[in-house]
Amino acid sequence: MKSKKGKISKGFLFSKKNKVSVWASTHPYADIPDEYFEETFSKNNTRASNTWSDNFKIRYFSPSKMETNGAHEGTIDIQQAVGECSFSSSFIDVLKSKAKKKKIKEITWVILLFEYEYSAKVSGIESDEYVTLVGAFDYDDDTDSLIESDE
């Protein structure tokens, strides 16, 4: 039986239109094992899972709705990392505020999952060994590009 948020025995489903969930890492990218990212596909290769999604009790995610970015060496400003893979400025101010509260500014990489409203309150998991949930934010694809607004 499904609950309101789509909980099932294998994990949670947090699909929600016009939302983006963001995770950030300060762990050196080169030190994260390849297995963490390796995806197992199901349902005509439209759904995937990996160690990251398993750690956060995410039943599956759509790779086509995921963007990642960061620095293979050193760190990058979270706004720059997000801007290069989101383009929408609709949620950057709230994201930066939430990241600041979590003492996150310079990161090694970031994960954005669009059309998804992950809830640490529901799952009970806010971080794993490599990434921390920054939050889930309202997303509007029609707002000004974050990249252009910085130029």
Q: According to the model, what pLDDT value does residue 49 have? A: 95
Residue 142 lies in a domain: yes
Q: According to the model, what pLDDT value does residue 148 have? A: 56
Q: Which residues of the chain have pLDDT under 70?
A: 1-9, 145-151
Structural domain of 102? 15-29+66-149
Residue 71 lies in a domain: yes
Q: Count CB atoms within 10 A of the CB of residue 148.
A: 10
How many distinct structural domains can be found in the chain? Answer: 1
Residue 64 CA to residue 20 CA, distance in Å, equals: 13
Whether 124 contacts 17, CB under 8 Å:
no
Residue 6 lies in a domain: no
Whether 11 contacts 122, CB under 8 Å:
no
pTM for the predicted model, two decimal places:
0.87
Residue 83 lies in a domain: yes
Q: According to the model, what pLDDT value does residue 89 have? A: 87
Amino acid letter for position 132: T
Amino acid letter for position 39: E
Q: According to the model, what pLDDT value does residue 147 have? A: 63
Residue 129 lies in a domain: yes
Residue 54 lies in a domain: no
Q: What is the DSSP string of 34-86?
A: GGGT--EEETTTTEEE-HHHHHTTB--B-GGGEEEEE-SSS-EEHHHHHHHHH
Residue 19 lies in a domain: yes
Whether 13 contacts 122, CB under 8 Å:
no
Residue 55 lies in a domain: no
First to last CA, the chain: 50
